[in-house]
Amino acid sequence: MKILLHCCCGPCAIYPIKQLKQQHLNITCLFYNPNIHPFKEFRRRLHTFSEFARSENIEYTVDDNYGLVEFTQKTVFNEKSRCDICYTMRLTKTAHFAAEGGFDSFSTTLLYSRYQQHAHIKKLAEDLAETYTVSFHYEDYRAGWQEGIDMSMDQKMYRQPYCGCLYSEQERYDKRLRKGKIL
């Protein structure tokens, strides 16, 4: 079975790829993440992902267009819905690419993170699978959370400290925000 795996970054791809390889699936990865800010962070994550995919002999496709303008146009004044907007952007492109590329199914490394809205991602992907008439391959990769972290550290991969968007960057570093004093 040919599967297209949307990848948000190298470290989050480790465990899902390991699981898919164990199922003897023909894996192609898609790096498409218009949410990542700033540009240097985008390039660093892309570089880390590409190095990992090559080391695993995984075929991959990269949308290396820095999508900050499109992402911010959709999220400005919709900050509370930004994650849904982001998931929709990335998974719509993945489902469309899978359907157009003749893949049997698609999945995403977003299902690996404990910090993402797992049930929402699953439902969105299922809906997109119907829309694009391509199967959604569901697995809960969170069981391998620590294993993926350990493996990425063993490989000395760059591990980003926040989800990717400028809002998550502020949430990560602005102590006033974490204490509920701003916004």
Q: What is the pLDDT of residue 130?
A: 98
pLDDT of residue 164: 81
pLDDT one-digit tens code per residue, 151-183: 999 999 999 887 887 777 777 777 776 655 555
Q: Residue 57 pLDDT > 70, yes or no?
A: yes
Three-state secondary structure along the chain? CEEEEEECCHHHHHHHHHHHHHCCCEEEEEECCCCCCCHHHHHHHHHHHHHHHHHCCCEEEECCCCCHHHHHHHHCCCHHHHHHHHHHHHHHHHHHHHHHCCCCEEEEHHHCCCCCCHHHHHHHHHHHHHHHCCEECCCCHHHHHHHHHHHHHHCCCCCCCCCCCHHHHHHHHCHHHHCCCCC
Q: What class, spelled out in words, does domain 2-178 have in CATH?
A: alpha beta
Q: What is the pLDDT of residue 63?
A: 95
Average pLDDT over every residue of 108-112: 98
77 has a pLDDT exceeding 90: yes
**pTM, entire model:** 0.92
